[in-house]
Amino acid sequence: MNSTLSKTLAATMAFTLAGLVSLFFFATASAYLLPHFIIYALLVLNTYFSIRFWSALQPNDVRQLLIDGLLVVTYLALAFSIGRPTHFAIAALALFIAAPVKYILMRGRTPHEALVERKIFLDSLGTLSCAVLVGGTLAGYALEAAWLFAMGFTLANVYLLFIRPMYRM
């Protein structure tokens, strides 16, 4: 098994396990479980394709290792905040703030600059969407904001994974 596939499968399985452990052992039963689970499951699916695609293209240096570590920490924070609307929204925002930084650090260091710029743009839209999720949550519309985000994220993933795939040369 090559290292890209190994890394992809290891991360996907770890994030899936974290989500399931959170869902079954830590999350409080609430109306937020379903939209949070949908968001998290779609994020794991998207992450599988992202790691599989970008792993071979990213430079192997300390900066990428550090941002990957930060992404893992924020990902786990998101997993273990399923069912808690404020924590989940803030963890999602932290994850989507860190995500574009990974690709900003790749600028000028890969022959695929157009792909890097598209990924930065798309992750920045995710950051903006998470800011709206946080705003809606703090304004007292946590359930509505979670469902709106889940529906929008679902549509975005269908489009970006299957209609106009973002993980293709």
**What is this structure's pTM?**
0.94
The distance of Cα 110 from the centroid of its chain, to the nearest Å, equals 22
Identify whether the C-beta of residue 53 lies closer than 8 Å to the C-beta of residue 167.
yes
pLDDT score of 1? 55
Per-domain residue ranges of the chain: 3-163
Average pLDDT along the chain, 169 residues, taken 10 residues at a time: 85 97 93 97 96 88 93 97 97 97 92 93 97 98 98 96 89
**Residue 26 has which token pair?**
């830590």
- Angstrom CA distances, 148 to 1, 32, 118, stand at 39, 12, 24
pLDDT of residue 166: 87
DSSP label at 154? H
Residue 17, token pair as written in the block = 């396990």
